[in-house]
Amino acid sequence: MEILVEETLPDTRLAAFLKMSMARAGADRGFLILEQVGELFIEAEQENRGDSPKTATLIPLEQCTKLSQAIVRFVDRSLQTVVINQPEHKGIFAKDPYFLNSQAQSIACLPLFFQGIPSGVLYLENTMMPGVFTADRTEDLKFFCSQSPYVKSLQTFLGPDIPKFRPTVSLTQLPLTARELEIVLLIAKGLSNKVIAEKLGISISAVKKYILNVYGKFQVNRRVQIVTMASELGLL
């Protein structure tokens, strides 16, 4: 059973979550990648289990060459877990340039949900052994990422500071268009941009544009914050 040491700094909580996830899965490298304003950023990383995780400057995913961007984007888009337990069994990622020089023997990448809302990706590797991320370990990791005290603690600071917005933001000040409201309601159901686009019959780029508008009107930068604000304003 994990004992959550109450930390006040967001980056400390991110590091604790990443370190515990790696320990549960048997990974020696890990990255915590979270969404902000529609883009993915590396918010914590650890190169091996003996080191302390790094949490500092946000690194855009496209600037990080230490992991498979293709796998991360696939998981973020599809909300499906990807596990590669043999270097030669890469499947649809066989042509990913990352694997040309990678020492990864096992890879596990899964979507993260905060309050049921897709919020990012957890990416783990073992550079020493193939077959590390067994079905049992992967299921245990999924449970940990959905139920552990660390996740509940992360949800606290990933949500917006509602009292800060209450005096300045109202429905009359941020009139959402009908389409924007539709998208807010679908985000609240935990749907990805891809599924939202399919449901509304529009492109994914159009969905992203509408979501950017909502970020600006709500003065927030994460999907889970959109849902919290929408609930506070009585839109849900």
Question: Domain segments of the chain: what residues?
Answer: 10-158, 162-232
Q: Helix (H) and strand (E) counts for the chain? A: 9, 6
Distance of alpha carbon 72 from alpha carbon 81, whole angstroms: 10
Supply the pTM of this predicted model: 0.85
CA 197 to chain centre: 19
Strands 29-36 and 117-126: antiparallel
109: part of which helix (H) or strand (E)? strand 106-114
CATH number among 1.10.10.10, 3.40.50.2000, 1.10.579.10, 2.40.100.10, domain 162-232:
1.10.10.10
d(CA 214, CA 183): 9
Instruction: Decide: 46 and 219 in contact? Cβ < 8 Å.
Output: no
10-158 under CATH 1.10.3210.10, yes or no = no
pLDDT-based confidence at residue 171 (cuts at 50, 70, 90):
low
- pLDDT, one tens digit per residue, over 44-79 is 898 876 666 665 568 899 999 999 999 999 999 999
What are 119's two structure tokens? 């919020």
**What average pLDDT score do residues 153-176 get?**
57
Question: Alpha-carbon distance 233 to 171, whole Å?
Answer: 7
Task: Please give the mean pLDDT across all residues of the chain.
Answer: 84
Lowest-confidence segment of 90-99, 147-156, 216-225 by average pLDDT: 147-156
pLDDT of residue 159: 60
- Least Cα distance to 41 among 18, 72, 8 occurs for 72
